[in-house]
Chains A and B, each alone.
Chain A
């Protein structure tokens, strides 16, 4: 045999071909010949390598160097550098997503390193069109062993011992199936291979057939021998031309080698295998339908019993196994059933192949030992969710399967465990969905698929899936009604229970599982007529507006910026937002997260445009609203929630008094957010407008001290508690009483009160949210020499905004990841160090993030003199006297009336803002303010038997429609920032705002999703 010094493996799977691997292969052949290296370097076109997302893929041996996204133009460089000069080409290597470090060797890439290959053992390693290459990797040894050394019963025993279960989805023990067929009486028997892979997003079978067709043939030879079949069919969908071609070549070669046909290997056993092309009906994956199709009939299932093992194809005993099942067989025979059963869980043995697709970084084909947690597949092998989006769910088992929510990421890949979740293993399609997926729409999609693929034979599947689809359509179009969820559940139950075949029996699964885990989304569609993921377009004008808690008409004010009509833009903003200047600076931009522009390049800089309007537009003059109602309302707390409520109630004619303990109105905006992010005059200006309406704000008036709660109760007809969450959580570790330990909220409040705060020089902050960053950047500004944030997870898990984290780093803040404080130490009552423990990431928690787990013995001490825990904060509602009608819940919060978001148990008393929800955002607080104003007013009118309030008509503002005809990738306009050196010593605003020119450019990027064309 010829010896080569190097092998160049070019992936020739369908995925890589689609991205141009044939051109790469051609270029390699040409280049090697041109360089006269044909005798030294072998070129192999392999089947699917598995890492389809990175295609076209090239692997060069002996080193196993992995090159991705290879283009034909790269080939000469690879040959020249790697093959001729021995210098691997860095720029084409895989890079670790977080560190961007190149990983040269294939097996060091996490995608490959964490897999275990049995069914796919030859993938990307051999030329699928050369039987010799298969044989060289122990091919056909298993068949030879079975046929010459083992009786059929021994083969079946071995397969039974292996614990192998059907990989097509059903999970029926393969050995048992074979035994039934072996025992069935019949002159003719058939061994059949199901390669009618039809799930959307699934390509396991195709890959195996393309990469290693002989493995399937060998499995069929062994199976055929075991049951006594002399004829086999591979039912492969015609949409898989490459698989069919390679199967044909493999069958011919096997016949030529005496491995198929009469008297295989002189054993006396004969088997003929034929490929039967299916026309692409999903139902033909169902065994009886598949057999009908081979018989030339319409592919429709028939009732069982009789089972195929006794009456299958042409009413003869038949065994049908899936491609992947057969691909495991030869190694089970070769290495023994107990070897195979040593892998996996108690009831699910061996490995399982998954087709990993959807919103995941590493799309591809993976094979893992049974029992591997689903989260490991998605986050370790799959590399997590692209674009910094949140994981929402994964659909496992195709359209017949169910979804795996974030709370179930630790579930092992085990047939029974997955069924418990309401999903099925299926054939292994794993479609990952991120936060931008609407689960109702997803259910609708899968239901539509099943409905269209239903053969229409039985009533529940034919009519029932259609009726379910109609209900889902209705819900997605905002026409859902009370009882729809229950109707779906009822239909689903009967369809599952009474449909004829597997297709119908499993068709309702996606609906049931999405209702199970995402019922709130269904309810949002039905009752609130909202699609939280901003997918169901009948339910909103634009995704940004839909995502905004106060539904700001974003496209409108952006259009007005473009048109240069800033005053109108301001008026549009004020319709829903009393604090546009504040939100233009500190809003987390739920809108931007859903911005469709983000799918093209970057989302719109919506908040920055908002700030531009607020900073530059002429503000409409606010006039006082006369008090027209006799009822008086007290608002406790002058934060964004309370002030919004006050504004709305004042507009409705109520006399509103706001009680504020601190010297200035603004609440958490004023006292938690540092000035360098949100200048005080911005808050003051916007507060003034609320006062202008006639709202009275009594600052420096603490309820419970300066005025009693009971007096307010007596004097006012309604009370809105909006006192914020000003009390930091403690770390709950030893040493928190030492001097030098501050709560983040308290620390920031002191600074924002303008007090002289003395910090030490070495400051540690614990936490990963915006408060932690605020505390750190404030500490830097107060002159701390050394500021370190300690965070127990990884950077990608930090809730703080990325641009804030970066700004902190630029200003000199250090961040240590995967550490947690365990003890604070000091001397003479003064803090001088924190004992930290290193963490590693363990199982997934309910949020879908990995839980940090302490590494024992990893403790170390960090010398510090100031510690600021910034892990969370809660409300101080101690001003409400015990014995009041306002009741507390068992966690110390204020108990609310069932299903109400703001009503306490006391009549006319409401609670909103951070005080009600824990730390949230300004825009959410505003939303709660609007809502409570509506509720307070509605209740009062109800008590008085008055008609409901009707909103005064809004001024008409004409919104121009202008979009760029040509769509060029353009990143968002950069926000100019103050130089680092100039900003770290003071609290001047860091971000400088858009100019007229940049704002115009940015506004022109808007795609105007709101347009009704």
Chain B
């Protein structure tokens, strides 16, 4: 692309045509404060007007995040006019934003605080309106809480929900200062198509969207001597928890995490990776069975609860393509209250099963009616990485300097195949390793199935699997990418045997429960930590090699897809539809009246 010469605050830079002023300013070493823009997902609404700059020849100030550079352009970023406008616009945002920073979930990690400091704001001259919290806070969902009072209308969540996840649950409603970002008809999130993925939370620059916090419940269980509290952690936690506790992005903190959990008071620390391995055995056998018996193909993974709910809403006709395997979290939950209870002699009713997940949808998943095959709630509480990190901070644990702990057995042992579940393509890679070995009796030439790794939206691979011939597989992460594959299945053009879908872009490493804020760079670094665990740390790299997995079949499950497996490890899905339940007219009127009252 052609280069153009631009002068920014008397600094001359040569930048690519089509770049924005903001990008050009970066090159000139000038950081312009921004709030709403999120270039990585091409979100440039030009809405917050915090990044305005003065451009010679332009009548008004322009938003640097979206205004393209042109040859000879002269830009001023610190003129009195610019400074005044930026400052006043941030002041205006704060004039309609609760002044409760100290008790906000985003205290210390808030973009609005950052820009307020960047523009030098020291006073808000307007009186903050007195909103009733009851009306503005929607905590109907087990996963995501919306606090409309704090919303600064950056539209990031809207773009993420609409374009990245294509669930389109969040959109602007009403006008003027009454604008609210939320579900149509101001419905509670629980009653919508929301997949609970939590990507909106990651997108939110302030505390308007956050996970439903369950730490108090877990603290209560930990402090209850009559309870036996058992915890499992998803693969992606170990690659991200360190970040939230002062360590570099991509730190692999398995041992410290285990130690921290012990110190918090958990009686047993198991690992979801164990059931990830178990999933491979069950799911691999399910795939082989479908191939052999002419069952529904392509078969699609079912570990990601956001994805499952999305499918139930938008592709209810393709539910039979989903693997019947429960997610590793739920398999673990079911085993803890059966196999482990039996094994340990603790009464299942006294066991509190907690899981640490990178995911907000897991909070929803554990509450699904059917997730009680053990006779109890298979999983009692789900905490996100952020919540665990909060507990560690509350407990005053010096995480970075912890010694390395080790898992409890029998549900703690895992292979590299289990650990890579946390990155997009990981389930597929793990499955291919095992399926190949099971079918051909030999290992794949290289256990690294690189075509399914990385951040490309839809990845494809074809593997010669002995007598099965060429097996075509596909991997999608992020629901807009999943949609592409689903549409192909619908129109009959998908010739894949097996598809992996992860709800969140990048897979669980960037799940809705992970540290804020996300970026592709972080996704790559966190995934690299998992691949390091797989390639360099773990003794075994194939699920079927996991000794504990072998043992559980011997002593408990007997055989893959067997009776016990079906009882505890498999599930079924429900058509949910895309129609919104329409609020009663009278209710709409009430909402309308409330909205007016706020004017």
Contact = CB atoms under 8 A, between A and B. Distances in A.
B175 A453 contact: yes
Interface string B73-106: 0000000010011001100110110000000000
A978 B411 CA distance: 116
A454 B175 contact: yes
B92 A464 contact: yes
Interface in A453-482: 453-460, 462-467, 470
Contacts of A303: 44-46, 62-63, 66-67
Interface string A933-945: 0000000000000
B172 interface: yes
Contacts of B152: 459
Interface of A: 281, 298, 300, 302-303, 305, 451-460, 462-467, 470, 487, 490-491, 493-494, 496-500, 505
A799 to B, nearest CB: 44
Q: Report which residue of B44, B153, B177, B178 has the largest number of chain A beta carbons within 10 angstroms of its beta carbon.
A: B177
A456 B60 contact: no
A497 B61 contact: yes
A498 to B, nearest CB: 4
A298 B171 contact: yes
A497 B46 contact: no
B81 A459 contact: no
B153 A457 contact: yes
Given A467-B126, A500-B47, 13 more contacts: A300-B172, A305-B68, A455-B179, A457-B47, A459-B93, A462-B153, A464-B89, A466-B177, A490-B84, A494-B89, A497-B61, A499-B60, A500-B63
A454 B172 CA distance: 13
B49 A460 contact: yes
Contacts of B131: none
Interface size class of B (residues with CB under 8 A): 35 or more
Interface string B140-182: 0000000000001101000000000000000110111111000
A251 B179 CA distance: 37
A493 B82 CA distance: 11
Interface in B39-56: 44-50, 52
Nearest to A496: B60
B292 interface: no
Q: Which 10 A-B pairs have the closest CB atoms?
A: A456-B179, A303-B46, A463-B92, A466-B177, A498-B85, A494-B88, A454-B176, A498-B49, A303-B66, A494-B85
10 contacts: A298-B172, A302-B46, A305-B67, A453-B176, A454-B176, A456-B179, A459-B48, A459-B152, A463-B93, A467-B92
Interface of B: 44-50, 52, 60-63, 66-68, 81, 84-85, 88-89, 92-93, 95-96, 125-126, 152-153, 155, 171-172, 174-179, 599
A514 to B, nearest CB: 21
A607 to B, nearest CB: 43
A467 B95 contact: yes
Contacts of A465: 176-177
- Majority-rule SS of A interface residues: helix
A459 B46 contact: no
Contacts of B171: 298
Contacts of B177: 451, 454, 456, 462-463, 465-466
A498 B92 CA distance: 12
Nearest to A300: B172
A539 B590 CA distance: 33
A953 B93 CA distance: 49
Given A463-B92, A470-B126, A456 B48 contact: no
Contacts of B96: 463, 466
A298 B175 CA distance: 11
Q: Report which residue of B89, B92, B125 has the largest number of chain A beta carbons within 10 angstroms of its beta carbon.
A: B92
Contact of A458 (B44, B46, B126): B46
A167 B96 CA distance: 37
- Majority-rule SS of B interface residues: loop
A281 B89 CA distance: 25
Q: Report which residue of A281, A491, A500 has the largest number of chain B beta carbons within 10 angstroms of its beta carbon.
A: A500
Given A298-B171, A498-B49, A456 B61 contact: no
Nearest to B89: A459
A505 B59 CA distance: 11
Contacts of B599: 451-452
B27 to A, nearest CB: 20
B45 A302 contact: yes
A462 B179 contact: yes
Contacts of B95: 463, 467
A498 B45 contact: no
Contacts, number: 110
Q: Report which residue of A298, A466, A470, A493 has the largest number of chain B beta carbons within 10 angstroms of its beta carbon.
A: A466
Nearest to B87: A494
A498 B175 contact: no
B45 A456 contact: no
A496 B61 CA distance: 9
Nearest to B90: A459
A451 B172 CA distance: 16
Given A457-B45, A500-B46, A452 B89 contact: no
Nearest to A282: B175
Contacts of A466: 96, 176-177
Contacts of B44: 303
B382 to A, nearest CB: 34
A60 to B, nearest CB: 47
A458 B175 contact: no
B46 to A, nearest CB: 4
Q: Report which residue of B63, B175, B179 has the largest number of chain A beta carbons within 10 angstroms of its beta carbon.
A: B175
Contacts of B178: 456
Contacts of B62: 303
B36 to A, nearest CB: 9
Q: Report which residue of A463, A490, A493, A500 has the largest number of chain B beta carbons within 10 angstroms of its beta carbon.
A: A463
Contacts of A467: 92, 95, 126
B227 to A, nearest CB: 48
A499 B175 CA distance: 16
A670 to B, nearest CB: 56
Contacts of B84: 490, 493-494
A459 B46 CA distance: 10
Nearest to B86: A498
Nearest to B60: A497
A470 B46 CA distance: 25
Contacts of B52: 497-498
A300 B179 CA distance: 12
A281 B126 CA distance: 28
A456 B172 contact: yes
Nearest to B174: A456
B115 to A, nearest CB: 11
Contacts of B61: 497-498
B68 A459 contact: no
Contacts of A457: 45, 47, 153, 155, 172, 179
A465 B92 CA distance: 10
Contacts of B89: 459-460, 464, 494, 498
A451 B175 CA distance: 8
Given A305-B67, A305-B68, A452-B599, A459 B49 contact: yes
A178 to B, nearest CB: 23
A456 B153 contact: yes
A505 B85 CA distance: 13
Nearest to B70: A305
Contacts of A491: 88
Nearest to A299: B175
B489 to A, nearest CB: 27
Given A467-B95, A497-B60, A456 B176 contact: yes
Nearest to B63: A303
Nearest to B97: A463
A454 B126 CA distance: 20
B497 to A, nearest CB: 38
Q: Report which residue of B44, B45, B49, B63 has the largest number of chain A beta carbons within 10 angstroms of its beta carbon.
A: B49
Nearest to B96: A463
A310 to B, nearest CB: 12
